[in-house]
Amino acid sequence: MTRARPAQRARGTVRPHSGLMAHAARIVVYPPSPTGGRRVRADGEAIGIAHSAADLLEFLRRVGLDPEAVRLDDPHLIEWRGGGPTVWL
Q: What is the pLDDT of residues 25-71, one digit of tens each?
A: 799 999 999 999 999 999 999 999 999 999 999 999 999 999 999 99
pLDDT score recorded for residue 41: 97
Contacts of 76 (CB under 8 A, 6+ apart): 23, 25
Pairing of strands 38-42, 45-50: antiparallel
77 pLDDT higher than 70: yes
Whether 87 has a pLDDT exceeding 70, the answer reads yes
In angstroms, rounded to a whole number, what is the distance separating the alpha carbons of residues 47 and 44?
9
Residue 78 CB-density burial (10 A; 0-12 exposed, 13-18 middle, 19+ buried): buried
Tell me the residue type at 14.
V
pLDDT-based confidence at residue 89 (cuts at 50, 70, 90): confident
Evaluate whether 78 touches 25 at the Cβ level (below 8 Å): yes
